[in-house]
Structure 1
Amino acid sequence: MAITTTGFSHVRLTVRDIEASRRFYDAVFGWEVAFELPADADEETREQLWFLFGGVIYQVPGGLFGLRPVAPGDDTFSENRVGLDHVAFAVPTRAELDRAIEVLDTIGASREDVKDAGAMWILEFRDPDGIALELSAPK
């Protein structure tokens, strides 16, 4: 028997530098923060938010997206190793991909040109840790 799912819940990426990652994800996506440890958190709050590991969890359409800053400073991402290949986010139109290029170029993010992937257009780019991200728009 297969497991019945009701949708996507969350993804959390392991990052090296939470400040650099926060600046990037805030500038690119501007998502609302769902969970983060307040700087003045008391011990009870710290215990309740133990699952953050010093990171942040954003509210995204359809679920949650988190950053967990526990990677060693010299670690690198590779989509060619076992694990994550990339994370893709849907956008409504090709025009939104063109707007995304402007955002990515403004912050100096590494990116490709928009590509025709058959049923959709895709824009591939990388976060500060080199994690492969993608935006896709239907044709």
Structure 2
Amino acid sequence: MPQLTGIHHVKFPVSDLAASRAWYEQVFGFEVTMEFPDEQGVVRGLAGFAPGLGDVGLALRENPAAAAGIQGFDPVSFGIADKAAAEQWAAHLDTLGIDHSPVIDATIGWILVFHDPDGTEIHLYSFAAHGTDQTGRKGYGRTTTPA
């Protein structure tokens, strides 16, 4: 079987490219390195990088129908170190006036949840585990045995 080598980029559909660009720049430090104009020369997409994502690119594509279709859904979880990092992100979002969840003890680690301007749910999930077995908790994951 051929092997994957990682994630190349993550692309979010947005309804207002300028507003979303400003939001992702403010929240994540998004740095645009490419623009994608349509046939009339109107820029409909942006790509670049955000600190902490390494070589994984971040892209925004103007597509109001797709943005509405994933409203309230979390297509990706961005990794953070631990509970302290989740608390730092919560403070950062507070300074920006962005509503967010409290720091949550998720299935494995800690998570912070908030929404972009189109209502796409953004998860910041810790790589550090909290060590609590959430198996019996409704709505939480449980381990499986490989076949």
**TM interval, short-chain normalised:** 0.7 to 0.9
Within 5 A, what are the aligned runs for 1:20-99? 20-36=19-35, 54-59=44-49, 60-71=53-64, 75=68, 77-79=70-72, 85-99=74-88
Specify the code of the residue in structure 2 equivalent to 1:5. L
Q: RMSD over aligned Cα, in angstroms?
A: 2.6
Structure possessing the higher relative contact order (Cα contacts under 8 Å, 6 or more residues apart): 1
Deviation at 1:69, TM superposition (A): 1.3
Q: Which consecutive residues of structure 1, in runs of 5 or more, have no partner in the other structure?
A: 38-45
Cα displacement string for residues 25-83 of structure 1 (whole angstroms, at most 9, x for unaligned residues): 1111103323136xxxxxxxx69xx9x952211223241110011315x945335xxxx
Tell me, in whole angstroms, the C-alpha distance in 2 between the residues paired with 1:76 and 1:105: 27
Which of structure 1's runs of 4+ aligned residues deviate more than 3 A?
Answer: 74-79
Aligned residues: 122
Q: Is the 8 A contact 1:53 1:70 kept in 2?
A: no
Structure 2 residue ranges without an equivalent (≥5): 130-147
Give aligned-pair identity as a percent. Answer: 32
Task: Using structure 2 for the length normalisation, give the TM-score.
Answer: 0.70
Answer whether contact 1:12 1:66 (CA < 8 A) is retained. Answer: yes
TM-score in terms of structure 1 length = 0.73
- Cα deviation for residue 86 of structure 1 reads 2.9
